[in-house]
Amino acid sequence: MIERRIEIRESGYRLQCLKVPEKTVTRSFRINESAFLALEEEAKKRNISLNTLVNQLFLSYANFDRYFQRLGMLKMSKVTFRKILKAAPANEIVELAREVAQNSSRIIILARCGALSLTSILDYLNNLADYSYFVERSEVVSPGGKRVITLIHSYGEKGSIFVEAYTKALFEQINMEPKLSSTENPVTIEV
């Protein structure tokens, strides 16, 4: 199912980036034969239809990759990122994480949703997990009714320092201080 982002006005407040089901569209494209064969092969490996794979690629571009390209952002392997973090002092990791959250991430959220809000930040974290593979994300509702979001990574202790500082800086932009906790690989957010 394709999802689209809409804006709803309720009592004068703007709610951004809500997901609603959208109809699919049928289009025909001409593509390079080697690209087609690679897509077919990948779909078979994943045990999904070619249509599903192509739709996932379109969603990845529409929701994430095009913003990365516009901002000149770099994709790198997790191993490389882990090694960079390992070599850096913890205080510099915190400053870097804060800078990324307050600049690049802020720009992407504003470009996609038009405003910084709890909804747009949570949507961004979801897209970060779905399309950049930077973290894996899970969410549950606690017995007290709070949303508990776990961001799981493979970057080690300094990765948790980065992810926690990054997440904290995202929420500070909307004057919110969620309860954050971390161990070597997961960072947990309670909102």
pLDDT band for position 14 (50/70/90)? Answer: very low
Tell me if 19 sits within 8 A of 59, measured CB to CB: no
pLDDT at residue 71 in the model: 84
DSSP string, 25-60: --------HHHHHHHHHHHHHHTS-HHHHHHHHHHH
Helix (H, G, I), strand (E, B) or coil at 150: strand
Extents of the domains making up the chain: 2-70, 78-190
Report the 10 Å Cβ neighbour count for 59. 16
Q: What is the mean pLDDT of residues 10-16?
A: 36
Question: Whose CA is closest to 125, among 183, 48, 178?
Answer: 178
For domain 78-190, give the CATH superfamily: H-NOX domain (3.90.1520.10)
Amino acid identity, position 172: E
The model's confidence at residue 20, banded by pLDDT at 50, 70 and 90, is low
pLDDT at 72 over 60: yes
* 78-119: pLDDT as tens digits: 999 999 999 999 999 999 999 999 999 999 999 999 999 999
Q: Supply the DSSP symbol for 135.
A: S
CA distances in angstroms from 22 to 3, 43, 62, 71, listed in the order given: 5, 23, 14, 28
For the chain, what is the mean pLDDT? 88
Rounded Cα distance between 71 and 132, Å, is 15
Cα-based distances in Å from 68 to 86, 142, 157, 160, 174:
25, 34, 26, 23, 23
Indicate the SS3 state at residue 182.
strand
Q: Which residues contact 191 (CB under 8 A, 6 or more apart)?
A: 118, 122, 146, 147, 149, 171, 176, 178
State percent of the chain over pLDDT 70: 89
pLDDT per residue as tens digits for the range 146-156: 999 999 999 99
